[in-house]
Amino acid sequence: MREHGMGEAAKMDLARANALLDEVNRQPTLARIATAARELVGHARDLAPVALRLACTSSYTFDPIKPALQLQGLRAGFALETYVGPYGQFDRELIDPASGLAQFSPQVVVLAVRLADVCPAIYESFNSLSESEGRGLLDDWFSRLESALRTFRQRSDAHVFVTDYDLPAAPALGLADRSATFSQEALIRGANDRLRQLAASMSNVHVLDYDALVARHGRATWSDRRMALYARIPVSAANYWSFAGFLVRHLRPLYGLTRKVLVLDADNTLWGGVLGDVGLDGIALGPDYPGSAFTAFQRRVLDLYHRGIVLCIASKNEPGTVQEALEKHPNMVLRPRHFAAMRVNWEPKPKNLQELADDLNLGIDSFVFMDDSDVECELMRQTLPQVLTITLPKEPAEYAAVVEALDCFDQWKISSEDRKRGELYRAEAGRKQLAAAAVDMPTFYRQLEMKVALRVNDTSQVARAAQMTNRTNQFNMHTIRYAEDDVRKFMSDSGSEVVTLALSDRFGDNGVVGLAVIRKKPHEWVLHQFLMSCRILGRTVEKAFIAWIAGRAKVAGAKELVGEFVPTAKNKPFSGFYASCGFLPGEPEGAVQRMVLSLASADVTLPDWITLEVETGLEHT
């Protein structure tokens, strides 16, 4: 009997795939997951921008989670190729170079080990343990874990996600656990602290807060005891979807799939009622319900702004009315300064979003759109399926919870650049006005009073440099994602250097917006990575950066500067960048196009409108 599936027949359309995934997400039963997986997984490469090899090795049966994992991956933009190792053999899988996991050569490994599986006495017969026995069990486990992880790390750079340990639904001493000198919960919490210390001591090992996940869903119902005992699946079927979503949530920020912009509708989204009908005094916004629901929603959105999410408005209203409401309403939490751009008009919203994306120089696939109208949302889903469209619930009191539950903006770390991103985009509006007024471009550049600060191998820049490799999709010549340890290696290696570029001008400080990772050889310097935040393009800074590096290479005695370019779906608009700087095509190396600048004839002067300041950290001789 054959499986009936789509096979290779029709190419799956993104809007239809999203609709199917939304349907599963609303009611993630096993039957729906199985059906959607059969229909979609074969088309994953067409639907998702990032292909990723993910291996799972665990102390329990992980296979049943796989379809949910692949679908949650698709929802986030991943075409996951998965490998699930035989349960209980995680040591061997990690250590043995001939293991299935090793042969699979994963980019990410999920190590899902329950403490209840490796130290069952701590969970099942805690009261019969002495304190030293309990601690001894943990010592044994951690030395086993550490040796497996370190052995694996010698062979592979893959990210390793380790799930932490969930507390029991009911501690063995009952109420007395809290006051006991040897407490079960305290012992397990201590194991979690230890797990975090171990991860911090190794590169690219991350701890996932599995305990918090279990607690959110309810410790008592997370597992189905029959399935746990019979099939060794400690997650009930009702929770496969949440578990898979939890795992994928941690992958997004590592592969440039974090969204950046939230576009909000105004009427019945930011406030209750239709501004054009009821006027400024008639909208619901304030201390009492239903106004309080909208105030609460705006507060959550403001908190997104303060972690670096760019806010915009797309509203069907008379131009000017929304701006006036934001300025004048006494209970408004979000004010005009919090919005990077607004589109208040009667045009279709997809058109407005596309314009916003062009204005902000951000990919449309980094946008989230929120509206209370089913019609507007459906139009957006059909027209721009790359946008994450969220229909607000009927009950405004639930709006705040919708913002709280968003995981598409997640990052592993927040930088100071993130916290002031809102100001950066406002300053951009000032620059645009200046550009419109200036007679010619050089005049505009001079009026900007640009100051560029370059830092060479400065370890204080490691976090931001790594973050830039993960967030930058468009002006990114090679698109290799780095963890902080990778950046540190390039900084400390005498054969390479890492240069960060910070830009400020009369409108404000843009922070660190450019990165170059250079491999230095006597004859040639290679721009292994070269990327800039799209926000600051078009001000000659990117070319000045190249000129400065070329000058430095020349002084060092190199004959050529080589730019490595690898085309992706996102960096196409900049595929001609190296050529525009005078680089000529060289011999390609596999997927890498090598563009070569002959330093003998290269112009390495910087434009007069850029003031340069250079700080070198660790200088190699």
Partner 1 sequence: MSAGNAERFKSVVSAILGVSPQEVSDDLTPDSVDTWDSLNQINLIGALEQEFGVTLAAQNLGDYMTVALLKKLLVEHGVEL
Task: List contacts with partner 1 (CB under 8 A).
Answer: 1, 3-5, 29-32, 34-35, 38, 63-64, 226-227, 229-231, 233, 237-238
Dihedral (CA of 451, 452, 454, 460) sign: positive
Give me 212's structure tokens: 């918090």
In the three-class reduction of DSSP (H, G, I as helix; E, B as strand; rest coil), residue 562 is classed as strand
Cβ proximity to partner 1: between 67 and 385 the closer is 67
Closest of 564, 572, 566 to residue 591, by C-alpha:
566
Cβ proximity to partner 1: between 4 and 26 the closer is 4
Residue 140 C-beta: closest distance to partner 1, Å: 31
Cβ proximity to partner 1: between 2 and 394 the closer is 2
Cβ proximity to partner 1: between 33 and 450 the closer is 33
Alpha helices in 389-420 (DSSP H): 399-405, 416-419
What are the residues whose beta carbons fall under 8 Å from the beta carbon of 537, sequence distance 6 or more?
361, 475
- How crowded is the C-beta side of 610, counted as CA atoms within 13 Å? 21
Cβ proximity to partner 1: between 66 and 471 the closer is 66
Residue 21 C-beta: closest distance to partner 1, Å: 16
Residue 237 C-beta: closest distance to partner 1, Å: 4
- How crowded is the C-beta side of 39, counted as CA atoms within 13 Å? 16
Cβ proximity to partner 1: between 230 and 346 the closer is 230
Residue 68 C-beta: closest distance to partner 1, Å: 11
Give me 527's structure tokens: 């721009």
- Matching residue, tokens 């499986």: 3
N-term to C-term CA, the chain:
69
Cα separation, 90 vs 93, whole angstroms: 5
Residue 63 C-beta: closest distance to partner 1, Å: 5
Cα separation, 500 vs 512, whole angstroms: 7
Closest of 219, 224, 195 to residue 60, by C-alpha:
224
Residue 27 C-beta: closest distance to partner 1, Å: 9
Closest of 610, 363, 617, 575 to residue 488, by C-alpha:
617
Cα separation, 18 vs 71, whole angstroms: 10
Cβ proximity to partner 1: between 5 and 168 the closer is 5
Residue 229 C-beta: closest distance to partner 1, Å: 7
Residue 14 C-beta: closest distance to partner 1, Å: 23
Cβ proximity to partner 1: between 34 and 212 the closer is 34
The DSSP line for 279-341 is: -TTTSB-SSSTTHHHHHHHHHHHHHHHTTT-EEEEEE-S-TTHHHHHHHH-TT-SS-GGGEEE
Cβ proximity to partner 1: between 19 and 227 the closer is 227
Cβ proximity to partner 1: between 64 and 586 the closer is 64
Residue 517 C-beta: closest distance to partner 1, Å: 44
Residue 216 C-beta: closest distance to partner 1, Å: 21
